[in-house]
Amino acid sequence: MERRIPVAAVALICALACLAAPTGGLAASATAPADLIVPGHSIGKIVIGENTGAVIGAIGRPGRLGPDAGPEWIYGALQVDVNSEGLSVVALEVVAQYGATKAAAERYRTRAGIHVGSTIGAVEKAYPAAKCSIRNHGCQLVSGTRTTYFIIATSVRKLSASTALNAIQIAGIGG
């Protein structure tokens, strides 16, 4: 007697297989520009929550590791923070540090054109839902369980529309 698998079961198996794929089912588009920041989601080809094997497959092994015990994987101006087990991405940051220049950081941009060096006024115009304050060290844009931080320099004591961004970070819960 032939047994048939219900269509719903096949769909569930396919969905689970997609989640088990090397990218965790969360990969950025293979055609996404390498310098595109998508708030609450990705920077270039790397997506929050993605497994580290997919990161290495998409952009290679890190050029260096950061000094913090995160660990931080450094790709020029792009920093990929992985969980303590080294299995998945918990945060992404664009910043001029660890030898990366401000020009290298500025090439990463949102579709609205926001980049390191943009002003708080530009962030507020592009993302009206962003909450900007000195207490937030710039602006925070919350999207579900993820937050995009438009960060100002820690030396800034007063926030104004002309205050420039020092870094842009996307983090998930626990990131």
pLDDT in tens, 110-150: 999 999 999 999 999 999 999 999 998 999 999 999 999 99
Rounded average pLDDT over 89-96: 94
21-40 tens-digit pLDDT: 333 334 444 446 889 999 99
Tell me the three state secondary structure of residue 121. Answer: helix
Mean residue pLDDT across the chain: 81
| Long-range contacts from 145-148, C-beta under 8 angstroms, 24+ separation | 145/172, 145/173, 146/40, 146/41, 146/48, 146/170, 146/171, 146/172, 146/173, 147/40, 147/171, 148/37, 148/39, 148/40
Output the pTM of the full model. 0.78
